[in-house]
Amino acid sequence: MFKTRLLSGIVLVVAAFVLLFAGGDILLVSTLVISWIGMFELYRIFQIQKAAPGILGYLAAAVYYANLRFDFLTDIMAFVLGYLILLMFVYVFTYPKYRTEQLLAAFFGVFYVAVMLSFVWQTRMLPAGGHLVWLVFLCSWGCDTCAYCVGVLIGKHKMSPKLSPKKSVEGAVGGVAGAALLAVLYGLAFQKAMGTEPVHILIMAAICAAGALISMVGDLTASAIKRNYEVKDYGTLIPGHGGILDRFDSVIFTAPLIYFLAERFL
């Protein structure tokens, strides 16, 4: 199992490197496809992955990504309300085919998965996005790895015993500290390429520390949904890791935070 997980992790990192390096439309379309898969995994829990509410969700995600590229919506709130109204059309004109929670899940899935993941692409498109986008993964996957190592070594106090019994307070602190340290090392390694001052490296460390905290909320959110519906993994797409949501649960939360903080302070 460890070997399978390790090999899958290596392939995942290589794929991420290629897509993030390419950027542009390649990354945008790839992020949409990843979002569709994640939405499918989420919708499957609510049994709408191939039903009208789910299909409408996939179309809404496509419209949102198309707007990121071509900017044809003058007010994003019109998209939100329009999507909600269309869902209500499906709800009332097919009643009682779908339950209320299924329609709520269809609405939630677009923003929880597709919109939040889109900030990976949006971060990549910032002026220094080629370097800044990696902070998303440093403070999510880096925090996860550091938290696991510290938790195994010295973890004693449970952080959320009912939701995730294996996670410890010590591991959480180690994850935050580890993410900040990785940001410092990354900043030092690419300081010349990024043209940044030493103070910017400290800002990157602070941003990654904040991102690490948020990443744990993302991880626990995905776990809470699975536990509520008695699901072990969201999928089997990534051997040893599960589905897209099992691997990107923390990235979903850190991407928007990194985008807004990096845009403001870096």
Can you read off the two tokens belonging to residue 96? 């009682």
Among candidates 188, 174, 184, which has minimal Cα distance to 204?
A: 184
Give the number of other CB atoms < 10 A from CB of residue 137. Answer: 22
The residues facing 238 across adjacent strands are: 242
Q: Is 221 exposed, middle or buried (0-12, 13-18, 19+ CB in 10 A)?
A: middle
Average pLDDT of span 225-245? 89
pLDDT in tens, 94-106: 999 999 999 999 9
Residue spans of the domains in the chain: they are: 1-22+128-266, 24-124
DSSP 112: I
CA-CA distance, 134 to 119, in Å (whole number)?
12
Tell me the HSE value of 7 on the side-chain side, using a 13 A CA sphere: 5
165 prior amide bond cis, ω within 30: no
Can you read off the two tokens belonging to residue 228? 């509520």
pTM: 0.94
pLDDT in tens, 35-79: 999 999 999 999 999 999 999 999 999 999 999 999 999 999 999
The residues facing 160 across adjacent strands are: 164
Per-residue model confidence (pLDDT) at position 23: 95
Average pLDDT of span 215-232? 93
Given a contact cutoff of 8 angstroms between Cβ atoms, the answer to whether 172 and 223 are in contact is no
Give the number of other CB atoms < 10 A from CB of residue 12. Answer: 15
